[in-house]
Structure formats: structure tokens, C-alpha cells
Amino acid sequence: MINKIFSILEKEIKIELSQGHLFFSVLLYIVSSTYVIYLSFQPSGLFDMETWVSIFWVLILYGSITSVSKSFFQESSKRNFYYYYVYSADELILSKLIYNFLFLICMSSFTFIIFSFLLGDIIISKTFFLSLLILGSFSISNCLTLISAISYQVENNSLIISILGFPVILPILLILIRISKISSIDFSWNLIRDDIYLLILLNVILLSLTKVLFSYLWRN
Amino acid sequence: MRFIKPLCILLLTYTFTAGYLFEVPALPILNETIRALYLHVPMWFTMIFLLLLSSFHSYRYVSNGNILHDMKSYNFAHIGVYFGILGLLTGMVWARYTWGTFWTNDPKLNGSAIGLLIYFGYFILRSSIDDESKRGKISSVYNVFSFSMLIPLIFILPRLTDSLHPGNGGNPGFNVYDMNSQLRLVFYPAVTGFILLGLWISDIRLKMLKLNQK
């Protein structure tokens, strides 16, 4: 099973590297929106920590919706037929989850670099914030992968994924915003312990639901 | 079903007479608006109950593929959302007289509004697929998935932050309601009555859906 998952992952990454346009288009999307934010806060600049953190996560949300939705849409229907015969549903969804997770880590750390460069470096405990980015990409990919699989089956899907995705992802996003506000002051385990536990609990629920429900979805 | 109708009528008649006539604790700010508790809170209980039934039937549908379960799940979600809208409206009127505004940045308000957005998304998802069995399968998967996100949104997240609602901000649930025995005397029958009313309405609407399909 692990071999099969890795073979799908390897194929995805090879396609991504040879084409390259998806990753770079997402990066360009991030850069241009950050620039829009930067210019709209001129001339006084953005000093408020809360605004910084909120805009950062909202941008991550939009970027991840555009990138995760591609993970199913970019497959042709012929290739999906092929997958249907060769791989089981569990293998496919796990590889998609891992792929989206890796993609979102790259995207969010890039966003962090661009944000600190243009909008001011306000995060004090950087190691904590980076580990939060990893946890955040993990949660967002868990949440959006099944939603993108659902909207893949619907005709006008680019709109559907945002309608379905936004309300579902909101609890996770709220927790992430709240934790990251702490990281701009200083790291303190006591302040964030409950939130981290809740986030891990939500991830466990999301992962198990994704695994169970995708097999039903894949069967048609 | 035979017991539901008379019991529902009995309980709701009791709620609407006893709710207006019985003595309530005289609290500052709240005053007589405390009677809104009998209307506002049961709406949410009913909504959660009906949505729970809806996601349960969705799960049944994806596991055995009987189209009746899909119909039931859609029906329960539909009625549940109506109760949610009523809960929001009654809460807004109550908030106008106690907190001074229709809408505040309260985690519970935001949570329930987002919960309604989830179900509006569910209806749009349903209406955008034509094929019946495909529609049932996809929307059922979304229903189960989103209901499990609704629970932390309404029940867990508000407890972690400060809220104007009682029972939040780390406080235990029901003690802080200031529910003395006088309030409980009407509150519990009201909750049961409205849940039964929700079941009754969904039963009638399910019959209509079945007739429409024939």
C-alpha cells in the first residue's frame, strides 16, 4: 500500500515539475495579492499585528482553495478511470492528502517570506510560527481535499468548491488565527495548549471522515 | 407518529400559556424578556436534533443506497434550517432589548450563522446535480462531513472565548443559565414540544415529497 501511495505521489510531483505552471501560478497569485495589500496600506504601512495575521491567513485560505481544487481537476477523466482499476480509494485519497500537504507547506512558507518582506516582520517567535504553518497546512489540506473531491463531481465546480469550502474550513481558520496572534507577542505553551489540542482533535475527525467518506464517493 | 401529534399540541399549548403566565425571576436588564428563553433556545435544540437526524440518514444512504434515506436526510435538513432561521430571528429580537443591538460579534452568533451557510451550500450542491443517485451520494457525503464541523463551531469554539451567551467563556453549561426551578418547569416541556413539532412538520413534508415523486 505504501509503495502504491508513493508511486502516485512520485507521478504527481513529476508532472508538477515538468509542467510547473500550477505551482508558479499560485506563487504569482500570492505575490500579486500581497502587493495589492501592500499598496493599499500605503503610505502609513501596516503595523497592526492583528490585521497582519488575519490578512495572512485569509490569503493562505484563498491560495489553498485555488491550489487544492486543482489536485482533482487537473486529472483527465481517462486517468481517473485508470486509477479506479489500479489503486484503491484509500491509497488514492492518502496520496492526494500528502501531496496537498506538501504543496500547502511550500505555498504557506513562501507567503510568509513575502509577507515579512513587504508588510513588515512582526512575528517574534519564528520557529513557533513556522511549526504552526506546518500544522495549519496539514489541517487545511485535510479539510479541503474531500471538498475538492466532492466538487470535482459537479459541473460548475470552481464556484462550488468555495461555497462548500469556506464555512467548513472556518473553525480551523479561527483557531489558527487565534494561535498565531500569540506568536507575534511571544511563545507561551500555557496560552495555546487548549487551541492546539482542539486543532489536533479536529484533524483526527477530519482525517477519519475523509478516509471513510471518500470510498463511498469514489465508488460511482 | 400517533403519540407525537397530541403530545406536541399538549406541550406547546402548555408552553404558550404557562410561558406567559408563570412567575419568572426578576433580573436586571433581562426583566420580562427572559420569557424569550422558552422560544429562542428550543429552536436551536430542534435545529441540532433535526440536523443530527439528517446527517444520520445521509450516512445510512451512503452505506446502503436506499433513496428513501436521501429524501429523509434532505427533508430533515430543510426543516432544520427553517428552525435555525427562526432561532436566529428570535435571538436577534431578544438581543435588541437586552444587549441593545440586533447583531454583535458573539462567537455563538457567528457560529450559528456559518452553520446556516453550510446548509445553504448543501442545498446549492443538491440543486446543481441532475442525476438522482449521484446527487444523493455526493450531497450525503458533504452533509456528514459538514455536520461534524458544525459541532465544534457551535459547541466547542464559543466555550473557549468570551461570549455574551451564558455557559461560555469556560463556564460549565447549564448552571450559569440562572435557571431556577420555575424556568425549568416550562423550559423542558418547551424543548420537547418544539422538537416534536419539528418531527411532525418533517413527516408531513416527507409525504409531500413522496407524492411529488410519483
Which of B115, B124, B156 is closest, CB to CB, to A163?
B124
| Interchain proximity B152–A174, CB inside 8 Å | no
pLDDT reading at B174 higher than 90: no
* ipTM tops the 0.90 cut: no
B169 lies within 8 A of chain A by CB: no
3-state helix, strand, coil in chain B (%, to 5): 80, 0, 20
Query: Residues B111-164: pLDDT tens digits?
Result: 788 888 889 989 988 888 888 888 888 889 899 988 888 888 877 777 666 666
pLDDT of residue A3: 83
Tell me the percentage of chain B whose pLDDT exceeds 70: 85
B98 Cβ contact list (under 8 Å, min separation 6)? B29, B30, B33
Q: Which residues of A touch B152 (CB under 8 A)?
A: 171, 198, 202
Of B87, B83, B103, B106, which Cα lies nearest the Cα of B95? B103
Contact between residue A213 and residue B145 where contact means Cβ atoms under 8 Å apart: yes
Instruction: Find the residue in B nearest to A204 (Cα).
Output: B148
Q: Which residues of B touch A210 (CB under 8 A)?
A: 145
pLDDT of residue B73: 92
Residues within 8 A of B (CB atoms), A 141-200 only:
143, 146-147, 150, 153-156, 160, 163-164, 166-168, 170-171, 174-175, 178, 194-195, 198
Of A120, A71, A77, which Cα lies nearest the Cα of A93? A71
- Give CA B46 to chain center in angstroms: 4
A40 lies within 8 A of chain B by CB: no
| Interchain proximity A171–B145, CB inside 8 Å | no
So where are chain B's domains?
4-213
pLDDT of residue A192: 79
The low-confidence residues of chain A, meaning pLDDT below 70, are: 20, 73-77, 80, 156-157, 220
Instruction: Find the residue in A nearest to B126 (Cα).
Output: A154
Q: Enter the pTM of the model.
A: 0.83
| Interchain proximity B117–A166, CB inside 8 Å | yes
